[in-house]
Amino acid sequence: MSRARDFLAAGPSDAVDLIAHVCQLPRPPRFVADHMAMALLAQWEEFAHDGEGRWRLVAGVTGSSWMGGTEARSDLGVGSLDAAMSRPLAIRSAPPADRLADLSYVVVDVETTGGASFGPDRITEIAAVVIERGEIARVYETLVNPQRPIPPMVTRLTNITWDMVKHMPTFREIVPQVADAIRGHVFVAHNAGFDWRFVTTEIARATGERMEGRRLCTVKMARRLLPQLHRRSLDYLARHYNVEITARHRAGGDAVATARVFLRMLREAQAHGCATWPDLEALLREVPRGRRRRRRSAMPRFIDRDTTA
């Protein structure tokens, strides 16, 4: 990180110029630069991101993430929201062996204008379903003004139109409510990388801070726990567990259905001997017999056959 630190000591920089210097590359495309800068610098407290592609050094901070280094965390938090909310964020170290039955979870689903979370696309709808003591405790959902047009193909899929969102709050305006919904819970989503990237990027744009915490992907859980299924899309999993999806491709309907599917899979994981968080992590790390682990691509995938109907 010393190259980034030295470069930003001269003042804030656009991500394209910063990555070109740090990685000694010709000027990369903006999407690549934004993605690389977020991956390289977001974990360090001394670097701040304004959400428009510019990075700067934080005065008086050296070399650690705001979450307290690399220590494992059980809660999710947004650093600068302390000033926006009346009570401090609940951020605490994770005990060495949390019982799955004692953890709380928040199942999140977002609808967006497209797949480029680090680029031009924004959230149009978000839902968060909180699970406590093995039951759905509460649901938060709202449409969001993305401050940009919604492509016709997205409207055809989600039925969310510009007229529906143009008078709704922007994500910056709902950050306190979103933080309240997700704080203190394990983050769960179907194809969790997609929802996590959009939520964390929107929070970074709004606050300059990043979100951290434990997360689970129901696609990955299904691949490990339900190897007999040919597909692990939400439709297939809902059909397998006889779960009704009341509003497909809307944040609330998909999040509630995912929550019900997740509860069933959590019971199956416990039946496999998973009593604690480390147990579940170990189970999900196992490679099924006869299947070789594929190398991960350096770039995120938008969708795959297990995330679509």
At 147-177, the pLDDT tens digits run 999 999 999 999 999 999 999 999 999 999 9
Q: Which domains are delineated in the chain?
A: 2-57 (1.10.10), 77-285 (3.30.420.10)
* pLDDT of 110 above 90: yes
**Counting beta carbons within 10 angstroms of the beta carbon of residue 20, is it exposed (0 to 12), middle (13 to 18) or buried (19 or more)?**
middle
> How much is the average pLDDT of 34-42?
71
Give the least confident one: 23-32, 115-124, 159-168, 211-220: 23-32
Span 138-146, average pLDDT? 96
**Rounded mean pLDDT, 10-32:** 76
Write down the pLDDT at residue 264.
96
Q: Could you give the CA distance from residue 230 to residue 241 in angstroms, rounded to a whole number?
A: 15
174-230 confidence digits (pLDDT tens):
999 999 999 899 999 999 999 999 999 999 888 888 888 899 999 999 999 999 998
Instruction: State how beta strands 105-112 and 123-132 pair.
Output: antiparallel
pLDDT top residue among 137 and 58: 137
- Calculate the alpha carbon distances from 9 to 40, 57, 224, 256 in Å: 17, 7, 46, 47
Averaged pLDDT score across all residues of the chain: 79
Q: What is the pLDDT of residue 186?
A: 95
CA pair distance 95, 189, nearest whole angstrom:
23
Tell me phi and psi for residue 157, to 5 degrees. -75, -45
DSSP class of residue 83 equals T
Whether 94 shows a pLDDT value over 50: the answer reads: no
For the stretch 223-243, pLDDT in tens is 999 999 988 899 999 999 999
What pLDDT, on the 0 to 100 scale, is given for residue 23? 76
Q: How confident is the model at residue 34 (pLDDT cuts 50, 70, 90)?
A: confident
Question: What is the CB neighbour count within 10 angstroms for residue 138?
Answer: 11
Residue 142 above 90 pLDDT?
A: yes
258 vs 237: CA distance, rounded Å: 9
pLDDT grade, residue 46 (50/70/90)? confident
Is pLDDT of 88 > 80? no
75: pLDDT strictly greater than 60: no
